[in-house]
Amino acid sequence: MHCTVTLMPHAAFAVMAMATSAATTMLLVLVLSTSSTATLPVAMADAGFIATTCNKTHNDKCVAVLTANPDSADASTVSDLAGVALDRAVAAASDAGAVINDRSSRYGGTAEGDALRVCSGAYFDAANDLDIDAHDSLGSGDYATASRLVSGAGGAADRCEGAFAAAKVSSVMADVDQKMKERCSVARDLINLLIPPK
């Protein structure tokens, strides 16, 4: 009887410890699953907002251009998305400049090298128009000017391709020029959504 009495507290303690451990585990699972589902609707809402906004532009590159930039997830207005798209266009112009420098060293003294010099000037102007003037216009609410500047900057790709066509050689910038055109068209189309109807 004495043994039974001394064993009972140990058994009771073991049962209580198991119950406490199970309760802690259940609480931890509950907290983790709640925090996971709490973040899920936000991510879904961001994707939904981007898709809905892009549908209004009728630009089939819009979603891909925006979702390639993590900053899009923080956007809550069309103006925010237009700013992200403009940043992507600025990056495309800057990347083009780096590519032109690299490829110029390989094509020095050739017709391709001459065309690359035309591309260099076109992209230099485009980068300035986008990074300075278009940003300023978008920030001040002058959406018509911002749209015009972005459209003009996108024309750098056409001027670059035109230089290769005039030299009667294959373009060594086709991939870069295509990316520039896509990014500028997305930025322009999003900015156009901000222009009040007349």
Burial of 81 (0-12, 13-18, 19+ CB in 10 A): buried
Percent helix / strand / coil, the chain, rounded to 5: 85, 0, 15
From CA 30, how far away is CA 159, in angstroms rounded?
59
Positive or negative, the Cα torsion across 102, 87, 128, 92?
A: positive
**Residue 197 DSSP label:** P
Beta-carbon contacts of 110 under 8 Å, excluding residues fewer than 6 positions away, are: 169
- Among candidates 134, 89, 111, 151, which has minimal Cα distance to 119? 111
Q: Is 129 contained in some domain?
A: yes
Q: Is 20 contained in some domain?
A: no
What averages of pLDDT result for each successive group of 10 residues across the chain (198 residues)?
Answer: 45 44 41 36 64 96 93 90 96 96 92 96 96 96 98 97 97 97 98 93
DSSP secondary structure string, 92-150? HHHHHHHHHHHHHHHSTTSHHHHHHHHHHHHHHHHHHIIIIIIHHHHHHT-HHHHHHHH
pLDDT of 6: 45
pLDDT of 148: 98
Q: Is 11 contained in some domain?
A: no
pLDDT of 19: 45
pLDDT of 82: 97
pLDDT of 41: 36
Beta-carbon contacts of 101 under 8 Å, excluding residues fewer than 6 positions away, are: 120
pLDDT of 108: 86
| 188 C-beta neighbours (distance < 10 Å), count | 25
The reported pTM is: 0.76
pLDDT of 198: 80
> Phi then psi for 59, rounded to 5 degrees?
-105, 115
Beta-carbon contacts of 126 under 8 Å, excluding residues fewer than 6 positions away, are: 93, 152, 153, 154, 155, 156, 180
CATH code: domain of residue 154:
1.20.140.40
Q: Is 50 contained in some domain?
A: no
Q: Residue 142 is part of which domain span?
A: 62-194
Beta-carbon contacts of 99 under 8 Å, excluding residues fewer than 6 positions away, are: 173, 176
Q: How many domains does the chain have?
A: 1
Q: Is 90 contained in some domain?
A: yes
Q: Is 42 contained in some domain?
A: no
pLDDT of 10: 47
| 136 C-beta neighbours (distance < 10 Å), count | 13
> Phi then psi for 159, rounded to 5 degrees?
-65, -40
Q: Is 12 contained in some domain?
A: no
Q: Is 94 contained in some domain?
A: yes
